[in-house]
Chains A and B, each alone.
Chain A
Amino acid sequence: MRYRTLLLLLVLTAGRIFAADSTNWVLPEARYAITARVEYAYNKSWGHFANLDAQALLPINKHFEMNVNLQASFKNVYTAGVILRPKFTLPVGEMFFDTEVLYKAVLRANQMDLVTALSLGWRFDYLSVQIGSYARVMENYGREWNSEEAYNVEPFNLLYRLEVFVRPQSCNWNINIVFSDYDDFQFERMWQPLFMLGGRYDIDEHWRVHLDAECKPTGMFHLNAAFYAATVRAGFTYRF
């Protein structure tokens, strides 16, 4: 009985625990922002290469925001993603629903990869969790579109993301650690996790700099796991 009471107390106070300041745990209000980043990447299939990223955050109103993500890879792969995000402030943290469409033109392989994703997230000052599902359609360019062999459909994939911050969101610098099967420009299969470590620093009211690193092993859980890919991203954000 004593343990149940403790558990109940823990759940009820979770937001306070995760928040930096127990009297003001509300996340900072989102602002219109544009981000530009360059990436150095390596993977065992494509070798060494670079990517250019452009991102925009559009908080339409208090309960609705939109993200646009664009990436051009020097390996002849081009990616565009749009996220529509309704969000609601709860007594503890903030809940959000991501609806994402990510289109990848893999011109090097004469294919396209379209992902549509739905997920539910809950974020606090120090933690953000997200779970959902996504569907994938891969298609060969230049093949008879209505032929069975033109496309591959993977209708159900689990989407997950666990992000931990070392400081509250309102601080002018922060470091985050992420365990997830997707990022802004890719959706991996469920058993193909990505490990990310990132940092940001707000130079002033408008300018923010980022530095992130990402590692993708292959074959985890059901194969003879090995290192597969690494990415380092650096860039800045201008917040209006």
Chain B
Amino acid sequence: MKMRIIPYALCVMTLGLVACNPNYDMAGMFNGSSERADKRFDESMAYNEKAGYAHLIVPEEYRVYVCTDTHVDSTTHNLEQFVKRYKSDLQCPFALHLGDLVNANNNHEKFFKAVAGAAVGMPVGKDTMFYAVGNHDLYFNQWESYKRFVPTSTYWFDTRTSKGKLLDLYICLDSGEGTLGVKPLDWLRHVLEVKSQEGYRHIIVFTHTHMFKQDDSQGHTSNYSMEETYDITALLSQYHVNMYWSGHDHSREITHYGGVTYIVIDALEDPVEKPFYMVAEMGKNIHYDFVAIEK
């Protein structure tokens, strides 16, 4: 009788350990615990309307530092290195973080404290970081804590010269659910339709979830459904978006499809063996390179 109980006990213990592990929002993986995409979009739009959209004055040629998947938990080494590097680069007016700022619950404060701490003593005025929300920022109903620091998940901003010449348009999407949702997809369509007429040099879309995975396709992480993949890729091609920057999969991949370059950037989290971030040189053309952070 006692022997019979062992397999059941092992199953229960395994499930219990997984469920109690603070890194796994088991419920969120099957039924997301944060507000739904459309609700987050409404809140984001309300904020955007109040705060307005940013227009950054930059030189015609500048650099953008892009990182993703820092998954801040107990340590913040790689994140701090990244912040120090982009802030000490005088040609870099801003940086992007493509989501999964934190790993589990209650770490957003630690993340932003690390960003602020790393910035101490760095050149003034180089302190702009734009964020996309990732699935780990939404698990455990963390939209509530995320929006205390980043009140919008869907927005755009642009860069222009001091003489007012339009340069590049950046559009941030909330893809933490694997679908943009009904309203955000309409919003994207509308923004691209209007903005593509204004004569921007480049249009960049950045978000957390990757569009494609050619290498070991989808063996690692879930992304969009096929219907959404068809529609978003068609939209990006139609309005001549240059690049789609994403993270989520933790392994680098570059795909060219329909005139758009889709880049999945490596994870920057502390435990990974080879953390990388991307530096994009924005000029007449876009040149990008991946830079390692030494352990």
Stretch at the interface among B14-22, B57-65, B207-215: B207-215
Contact (Cβ within 8 A) B179 A154: no
Enumerate chain A residues within 8 angstroms of B176, measured Cβ to Cβ: 219, 223-224
B111 to chain A, nearest CB (A): 18
Which 9 A-B pairs have CB atoms at the shortest separation, nearest pair first? A219-B178, A191-B222, A109-B234, A224-B32, A154-B217, A149-B256, A218-B178, A109-B230, A224-B138
Taking a contact as CB atoms closer than 8 A, the residue among B36, B222, B234, B255 that contacts A192 in the complex is B222
Q: Mark A214-236, 1 if CB is under 8 A from B, else 0.
A: 00111111111110110000000
B160 to chain A, nearest CB (A): 29
Q: A43-B225, A156-B216 are in contact. Are A148 and B256 (CB under 8 A)?
A: yes
State the A residues within 8 Å of B (CB): 43-47, 106, 108-111, 113, 136, 138, 140, 143, 148-158, 186-192, 216-226, 228-229
Contact (Cβ within 8 A) A45 B32: no
State the B residues within 8 Å of A (CB): 28-34, 36-37, 135, 138-139, 176-182, 185, 209, 212-214, 216-231, 233-234, 237, 248, 255-260
Contact (Cβ within 8 A) A221 B219: no
- Give the dominant DSSP class at B's interface: loop
Cα distance A191–B223 in the bound complex, in angstroms: 8
Enumerate chain A residues within 8 angstroms of B33, measured Cβ to Cβ: 224
Cα distance A108–B36 in the bound complex, in angstroms: 27
11 contacts between A and B (CB under 8 A): A44-B180, A110-B234, A111-B233, A143-B259, A151-B257, A189-B226, A216-B225, A218-B177, A222-B221, A222-B248, A223-B223
Cα distance A157–B218 in the bound complex, in angstroms: 7
Taking a contact as CB atoms closer than 8 A, the residue among B31, B34, B36, B218 that contacts A154 in the complex is B218
Q: A45-B225, A220-B30 are in contact. Are A152 and B212 (CB under 8 A)?
A: yes
For A226, give the chain B residue with the smallest CB separation.
B177
Enumerate chain B residues within 8 angstroms of A155, measured Cβ to Cβ: 214, 217
For A181, give the chain B residue with the smallest CB separation.
B218
Of the candidates B32, B218, B224, B229, the one having the most CB atoms from chain A within 10 angstroms of its own CB is: B218
Enumerate chain A residues within 8 angstroms of B182, measured Cβ to Cβ: 44, 47
Enumerate chain A residues within 8 angstroms of B178, measured Cβ to Cβ: 192, 218-219, 223-226, 228
A3 to chain B, nearest CB (A): 8
A183 to chain B, nearest CB (A): 12
A2 to chain B, nearest CB (A): 9
B155 to chain A, nearest CB (A): 19
A44 to chain B, nearest CB (A): 5
Q: A223-B178, A226-B36 are in contact. Are A45 and B222 (CB under 8 A)?
A: no
Contact (Cβ within 8 A) A224 B34: yes
Cα distance A187–B226 in the bound complex, in angstroms: 8
Taking a contact as CB atoms closer than 8 A, the residue among A153, A187, A188, A225 that contacts B29 in the complex is A225
A11 to chain B, nearest CB (A): 17
Contact (Cβ within 8 A) B222 A220: yes
Contact (Cβ within 8 A) B230 A219: no
Taking a contact as CB atoms closer than 8 A, the residue among B30, B138, B218 that contacts A191 in the complex is B218
A117 to chain B, nearest CB (A): 13
Contact (Cβ within 8 A) A140 B237: yes
Enumerate chain B residues within 8 angstroms of A222, measured Cβ to Cβ: 29, 135, 220-222, 248
Contact (Cβ within 8 A) B135 A223: yes
Cα distance A61–B213 in the bound complex, in angstroms: 40
Enumerate chain B residues within 8 angstroms of A47, measured Cβ to Cβ: 182
Other than the given A157-B218, A222-B135, 8 more pairs (CB < 8 A) read A111-B230, A111-B234, A140-B257, A140-B258, A143-B259, A187-B226, A219-B32, A223-B223
Taking a contact as CB atoms closer than 8 A, the residue among A152, A191, A223 that contacts B257 in the complex is A152
For A43, give the chain B residue with the smallest CB separation.
B227
Contact (Cβ within 8 A) B28 A225: yes
Of the candidates A155, A190, A225, the one having the most CB atoms from chain B within 10 angstroms of its own CB is: A225
Enumerate chain A residues within 8 angstroms of B218, measured Cβ to Cβ: 154, 157, 189-191
Of the candidates A155, A157, A222, A228, the one having the most CB atoms from chain B within 10 angstroms of its own CB is: A222
